[in-house]
Chain A
Amino acid sequence: MRKYTSAYPALWRVMDVLEGAFAAVWPKKGGNYTPYLMLAPAILLVGTLVVGLLYIGDTSLRTLDRTTFQFSDFWTLDNYTRAFFESFTWTIIWRSLMGAIIVTFVTLILAFPYAYTMVRTTNSTLRKFLLIALFLPFFIGQVVRAYGWLIILGNQGIVNDVLGLVGVEPLRLLFNYPAVLFGLVQYMLPFAVLMLAPAMTAIPEEIEAASTSLGASWIKTMTYVVIPMAKPGLIGAGLVVLTLSLTDFAMPAILGGGTQDFIANAIYDQFFRTSDQGFGASLAIILIGIETMIVGLIFAVFGAGTLELGSNDS
């Protein structure tokens, strides 16, 4: 018979102490509150943002006196009234909202086959290649990537050079709405794929095989089997792309040629150019309000996707 050097491993002793401490601090009946305890650090961390938001909210209620450049001592809703009544605000909100929706749509259309191929391929080198192609752009950063596109799509850029070979005059491919949307799509694509991939992995291949063996064409399989099963991933990815595009600042600024401002650009202008921090803050609050409503709506209608609650409770 083997001789044990110690009857009770040290690690177990440590665990016992931790268990004891936990039991002492957290009553047995507290089991229901465990999730709240686990969420507490995250809630606190995001709380710092909320504190910042309070400062912004306070600023939004103060108007700027342009002779002293001081903010008013008293609170007033003037900034909000101004925002509501200026038609420019609505132009921008509409442009940003439409843009974000289109970008989400296009990104998901491109991300789905990419995630599918990446997950389903049996060739591991190919999978790595696809993953790396996804990651590398992250390291160049949004702004430098946008400048890269300015060079490619510019008047003297490659695309126009190639078109010139067939005798087409240089086209103005940049500094318009489609250019901004394109820039947003190429920026959001990696995020969308990364969020879709785990959801796709969870769909067993056999189900697709089963569907085909029951006589469904590949389009039917996709539509009725794969996409619904990928729904949590699609919603998660869609939400992320929607919120990030709506609040993006760099792409509209760089690819838009100054004529395609999104909401974040308008906020930037007010904070930094006209020094009217109150007005900028009110625009920010309006944006947050609109977005929270949209997000809440999506959560309520579609469920939270991969962020789903209690998906494991049987």
Chain B
Amino acid sequence: MNQPFGQKALFWTLVVISIVTLSAPTFVVLGASVTSGNIITFPPEGFSLKWYGKILGEQDLRDAFMRSLWVATICVIVAMPTGTLAGIALSKYRMRGGLIIQTYLLLPFTIPLIGSGIGLMLAFGDAGLLGNLWPVGIATAVINLPFMIWAVSSSAAGLDPDLELAAQSCGAGPVQTFFNVTLPAVTPGVITGSLLMFILSLNEFLVSLLLVDARTVTLPVQIYNSIRSIITPDLAAVSVVFIVVAMLAITALDKFVGLEIFLKSK
């Protein structure tokens, strides 16, 4: 459909502003990471890859990165079934106390992360769970759960209830209907949500800060701690490596599933 010129002009101006705003820090970080000086500046002074050499040699950072991957994996494993079931339920059924349940399920966003962090630290501490990585995975799953639920429920919103009725009238039991009809229909939402959860968990630092110790520290926490002391270009280099890994992951995702899944509800 051809958009009228006025609309195109206005929308595209805003879009370009958005793109510039979103990408500017990326370029700065990229530039700052190749400086030959010791300070983060942009444009960089001179060109040198020494900071990359420095971080790639650091075992600590590699260990922290592997731990972050593990935490993110646990997060997705926990959030996928939980969020999917909840998303489908919220979208398909009208139920009593719906408003309360909705508000309750939005708690991870309404409680400030510091509050969640301290609360979970005290709760996990009393249960003797601290010192392991998997509680951190669960914690990141909890605080980002609304995203998963939303992703699935907006997918399920497009689910035609007649399809399920049809399946049942053909003799499928409830379990079979669920696996063969409902679940495939919400798959786009499940994939979108899981990816979002993975990314968010990989980058989470505030709640993790309170739940890890020096033996289990994850990469975002390590970066955050370093920034609090002094800001040097090696942090920029770490961020760039992260971005490169992300680009590879996104490309792979595109090949397998197609990026457009994020736009679809069906």
Contacts and interface: CB of A to CB of B under 8 A. Distances in A.
A117 B13 CA distance: 11
A236 B95 contact: no
A127 B176 contact: no
Given A39-B85, A42-B145, A309-B93, A194 B21 contact: no
Interface centre among A109, A124, A131 (most CB of B within 10 A): A131
B259 interface: yes
Contact of A36 (B1, B7, B95, B263): B95
B115 to A, nearest CB: 4
A102 to B, nearest CB: 16
Interface centre among B14, B23, B220 (most CB of A within 10 A): B14
Interface string B254-265: 100001101111
A138 B154 contact: no
Given A109-B14, A152-B24, A144 B119 contact: no
Contacts of A280: 114
B26 A140 contact: yes
Contacts of A82: none
The size class of the interface chain B forms with chain A is 35 or more
B25 A292 contact: no
B40 interface: yes
Interface residues of A, number: 117
Contacts of A46: 104-105, 107-108, 142, 145
A34 B42 CA distance: 57
B199 interface: yes
Interface of A: 15, 18-19, 22-23, 34-36, 38-39, 41-43, 45-46, 48-56, 59, 109-111, 113-114, 116-120, 124, 127-128, 130-145, 147-149, 151-152, 156-158, 185-186, 189-190, 194-195, 197-202, 205, 208-209, 217-219, 222, 232-233, 236, 239-240, 243-244, 247, 249, 263-264, 267-268, 271, 277, 280-281, 284, 287-288, 291-292, 295-296, 299-300, 304, 306-314
